[in-house]
């Protein structure tokens, strides 16, 4: 997968389409063959800023890279790609299966956390069935279509939840989960601009102390750790998928002092950014 000359990671609505080119209604689906054939069965690293994708491979084989994690795909594999996750694929020319693209905001209020990035193998029958029912309702809308779509989305989330281990516990009351997930959404959009927990707490209308309490209850870590984890993920992506210098990556993430950024990343990763880049590119 050729990405070592990239200066930035492309963000697409769907792969190969600029954001805003396609209007979405609940979901978009297509065969893996239809999209990958257009790109010689190699999908370069990219990400989506508002979409959750679920890929179900039923025939052929391939490989997926989710951030820096490379995994082989065999028949009856499912790949879950949340918004913002850098991903890339290569497929055999006989590949079969579907890719379903959902708008992440449509998953809010369904009572389950949004799925984490994951690859599932060998336990995909329930997920495949849920995807098929969702596609059928989307293609042939019936009475109470919106209600039916929400029900099928919920069943898909349940199917994913049963086989995909999530790093986010479902602890905490409803209000705590709402605040915690609203905070994580804010972090997703603002982590480059601010790392101050008090800024996020003010936006959410809660105290710094309460936001920390909620994050520990729902995520098992303090609010600052959630912010740092997101910065670390982005730094790792930039180190792996672009040729930007450490100084340029730091500047993109809001660190004007390269030496401070290097010390900060070394504390998070346990090794310097330059050493980490050498490590992950050797894999």
Indicate whether 137 and 180 sit together in one domain.
no
pLDDT band for position 20 (50/70/90)? very low
Assess if residue 20 is contained within a domain. no
Is residue 22's pLDDT more than 50?
no
Indicate whether 53 and 155 sit together in one domain.
yes
**CATH number where 114 lies:** 2.60.120.280
Cα-based torsion angle of the residue sequence 64, 68, 70, 75 in order, rounded to the nearest 10 degrees: -30
Give residues with Cβ within 8 angstroms of 147, minimum separation 6: none
Indicate whether 149 and 31 sit together in one domain.
yes
Indicate whether 44 and 134 sit together in one domain.
yes
Is residue 2's pLDDT more than 90?
no
Indicate whether 128 and 203 sit together in one domain.
no
Indicate whether 198 and 112 sit together in one domain.
no
Domain range enclosing 228: 174-281
Question: Residue 114: its pLDDT value, please?
Answer: 79
> Which residues make beta-bridge pairs with 59?
96
Assess if residue 233 is contained within a domain. yes
Indicate whether 159 and 272 sit together in one domain.
no
Percentage of the chain surpassing pLDDT 70?
87
**For the chain, what is the domain count?**
2
Q: If you count them, how many residues does the chain have?
A: 283
User: Residue-wise over 119-133: b if at least 16 C-beta within 10 A, else e?
Assistant: bbbeebeebbebbee
Q: What is the DSSP letter of 17?
A: S
Assess if residue 9 is contained within a domain. no
Indicate whether 62 and 137 sit together in one domain.
yes
Mean pLDDT over the full length of the chain? 85
Q: Which residue, 163, 187, 205, sits at the end of a domain?
A: 163
Query: Please, are residues 60 and 75 in contact by the beta-carbon 8 Å criterion?
Result: yes
Exposed/middle/buried for residue 106 (C-beta within 10 Å: 0-12, 13-18, 19+): middle
Question: Residue 237: its pLDDT value, please?
Answer: 87
User: Residue-wise over 21-32: b if at least 16 C-beta within 10 A, else e?
Assistant: eeeeebbbeeeb
Give the residue with greater pLDDT, 170 vs 208: 208
Q: Over the stretch 230-263, which tens digit does the pLDDT of each residue have?
A: 999 899 889 888 889 999 999 999 899 999 999 9
CA–CA gap between residue 219 and residue 170 (Å, rounded)? 8
**CATH number where 181 lies:** 1.10.10.60
Is residue 5's pLDDT more than 60?
no
Exposed/middle/buried for residue 59 (C-beta within 10 Å: 0-12, 13-18, 19+): middle
Is residue 88's pLDDT more than 50?
yes
Continuous H helices in 191-242: 197-204, 208-218, 223-241
- Scanning the structure block, which residue is given the tokens 């609505």? 13
Assess if residue 181 is contained within a domain. yes
Indicate whether 152 and 195 sit together in one domain.
no
Comparing CA positions, the residue from 148, 159, 82 lying closest to residue 114 is: 82
Q: Over the stretch 101-160, which tens digit does the pLDDT of each residue have?
A: 998 878 877 878 778 889 998 779 999 999 999 999 988 888 998 899 999 999 999 999
pLDDT band for position 167 (50/70/90)? very low
Q: Which residue, 163, 197, 216, sits at the end of a domain?
A: 163
Q: Which residue, 118, 140, 163, sits at the end of a domain?
A: 163
Q: Over the stretch 198-220, which tens digit does the pLDDT of each residue have?
A: 999 999 999 999 999 999 888 88
Give the residue with greater pLDDT, 246 vs 7: 246
Residue 220: C-alpha distances to residues 46, 73, 189, 226, 256 (Å): 30, 32, 22, 10, 31
CA–CA gap between residue 229 and residue 233 (Å, rounded)? 6
Q: What is the DSSP letter of 117?
A: S
Assess if residue 254 is contained within a domain. yes
Indicate whether 193 and 108 sit together in one domain.
no
Assess if residue 8 is contained within a domain. no
Indicate whether 152 and 36 sit together in one domain.
yes
CA–CA gap between residue 266 and residue 133 (Å, rounded)? 47
Question: Residue 101: its pLDDT value, please?
Answer: 92
Is residue 280's pLDDT more than 80?
no
pLDDT band for position 24 (50/70/90)? very low
Comparing CA positions, the residue from 228, 225, 268, 277 lying closest to residue 248 is: 277
Assess if residue 19 is contained within a domain. no
Question: Residue 11: its pLDDT value, please?
Answer: 59
Indicate whether 86 and 152 sit together in one domain.
yes
């Amino acid at each position: 997968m050729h990405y070592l000359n990239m200066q930035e990671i492309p963000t697409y609505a769907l792969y190969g389409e600029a954001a805003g080119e396609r209007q979405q209604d609940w979901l978009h689906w297509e065969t893996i063959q239809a999209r990958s054939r257009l790109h010689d069965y190699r999908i370069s690293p990219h990400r989506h800023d508002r979409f959750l994708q679920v890929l179900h491979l039923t025939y052929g084989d391939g490989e997926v890279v989710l951030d820096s994690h490379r995994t082989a795909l065999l028949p009856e594999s499912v790949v879950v790609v949340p918004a913002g996750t850098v991903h890339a694929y290569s497929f055999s020319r006989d590949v079969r299966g579907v890719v379903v693209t959902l708008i992440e905001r449509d998953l809010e209020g369904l009572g389950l956390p949004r799925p984490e990035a994951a690859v599932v193998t060998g336990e995909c029958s329930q997920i495949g069935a849920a995807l098929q029912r969702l596609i059928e309702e989307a293609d042939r809308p019936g009475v109470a279509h919106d209600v039916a779509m929400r029900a099928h989305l919920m069943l898909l989330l349940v199917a994913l939840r049963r086989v995909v281990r999530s790093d986010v516990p479902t602890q905490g009351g409803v209000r705590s989960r709402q605040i915690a997930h609203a905070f994580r959404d804010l972090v997703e959009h603002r982590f480059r601009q601010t790392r101050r927990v008090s800024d996020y707490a003010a936006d959410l209308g809660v105290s710094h102390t309460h936001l920390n309490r909620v994050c520990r209850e729902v995520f098992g870590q303090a609010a600052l750790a959630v912010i740092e984890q997101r910065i670390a993920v982005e730094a790792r992506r930039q180190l792996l998928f672009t040729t930007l210098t450490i100084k340029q990556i730091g500047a993109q993430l809001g660190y004007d002092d390269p030496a401070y950024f290097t010390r900060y990343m070394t504390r998070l990763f346990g090794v310097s950014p330059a050493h980490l880049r050498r490590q992950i590119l050797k894999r």
